[in-house]
Amino acid sequence: MSEPQYIYQHGYNEKNSIAIIWCIDDIKEKAKEMEVSVKLTDDQCMYILQEIHRRHDASLGVSWDTLEYAIESYVNELRCNKCSKVGSFESDGKPALYGQEFDENIYCNNCIPEAWEKMLESEGK
Ligand SMILES: [Zn+2]
């Protein structure tokens, strides 16, 4: 018997199982079709795939609709522009995010740029 060509880990291979693969290019293709305003990086696409995996329901499976839903939730979530940490402006238990009128970016407390401090000082706040 020939050795299986595809090994899926944990003893699973093409002789005893199947594997359905979704990849970052699938996320990019779907995002393009949805005309989302942000161009997703490979890391962001991988994050979305991991979220799909984490929330996976075997009775529903993963489909193009699943990808669409996951992309939509991702782009609608507020996150730090530097480290991509998900957060909120509200005190709702999520990590705090900060925004300023003079900067279109939002940051978590670890990523607030030094320039902000100078801007706030010069504004006398
Ligand atoms: Zn951050």
Give the Å distance between the CA of 108 and the centre of ligand 1.
4
93 and 63 together in one domain: no
pLDDT score of 120 more than 90: no
Give the Å distance between the CA of 89 and the centre of ligand 1.
13
15 and 40 together in one domain: yes
Token look-up 């005309």 returns: 35
Give the Å distance between the CA of 70 and the centre of ligand 1.
22
Confidence at residue 66, expressed as pLDDT on a 0 to 100 scale? 96
43 and 7 together in one domain: yes
67 and 85 together in one domain: no
**Considering only CA atoms, which of 4, 7, 60, 52 is closest in space to residue 26?**
52
43 and 71 together in one domain: yes
101 and 49 together in one domain: no
Confidence at residue 1, expressed as pLDDT on a 0 to 100 scale? 64
Average pLDDT of the residues of the chain: 90
Structural domain boundaries, residue 102: 80-125
**Considering only CA atoms, which of 40, 23, 44 is closest in space to residue 31?**
40
Give the Å distance between the CA of 52 and the centre of ligand 1.
23
Q: What is the per-residue pLDDT across 18-73, written as a single tens digit (0 to 9) for each?
A: 999 999 999 999 999 999 877 888 998 999 999 999 999 999 999 999 999 999 98
Q: What distance in Å separates the CA atoms of residue 19 and residue 5, rounded to the nearest whole number?
A: 13
5 and 64 together in one domain: yes
Number of domains in the chain: 2
91 and 38 together in one domain: no
Give the Å distance between the CA of 96 and the centre of ligand 1.
10
Give the Å distance between the CA of 99 and the centre of ligand 1.
12
66 and 90 together in one domain: no
